[in-house]
Amino acid sequence: MKLFDPTSKPVERAIKLAPRPASPRGLRLGLVDNTKFNSDTLLRKLAERLAARYHVTVSATNRKRSPSHEIDEAGIAALRAESDLVISGIGD
């Protein structure tokens, strides 16, 4: 008799990662607010600390439609064009 595997693995897709910056000093910072409660506050405080310590500047912000939705293509393009570093992924 056989066991039939009912599982599927995620489909593998090639993802090209941007080169990691050696230091955040002086970089342009993008923020993705996923709309979780207080995520905007937490991101703002993070940005303030990074600005004080590394002189980063907030260059782009994206407020997602909801935590469940992905950033739309226009939002991704804007982050790519205007940011060197992006912070995303606030949980609860």
Partner 1 sequence: MSEIDEAADPAALIEAYYDAGWTDGLPVVPPSDASIAATLAAASLQGHEVLGEIPGRNIEVIADKAATNAVMAGCRPEYMPVVVAAVKSLCEAAFAYHGPASSTGGSAMVLVVNGPIARRLGINSGNNAFGQGHRPNATIGRAVRLIMMNAMNTRPGFLDRATLGNPGKYAFCFAEHEEDHPWEPLHVARGLKSHDSAVTLIASNSVYQVYNQLAATPEPLLRCFADALGNAGSPNLRGFNETLIVFAGEHADILKTAGWSRGDVQRFLVEHTRRRVADYKRAARIPGAVTAEDETTWRHVFERPEDILIACAGGRAGSWSACLPGWGKKWTRSITTRVEWRET
Residues that bind partner 1 (CB under 8 A): 1-13, 37, 66-70, 92
DSSP readout, 28-88?
EEEEEE---TTHHHHHHHHHHHHHHHH--EEEEEEE-S-TTSPPPHHHHHHHHHH-SEEE-
> Quick one: 1 or 22, whose CB is closer to partner 1?
1
Q: Which is nearer to partner 1, 22 or 73 (CB)?
A: 73
Q: Whole-number minimum distance, CB 79 to partner 1, in Å?
A: 16
Residue with smaller CB distance to partner 1, 12 or 22: 12
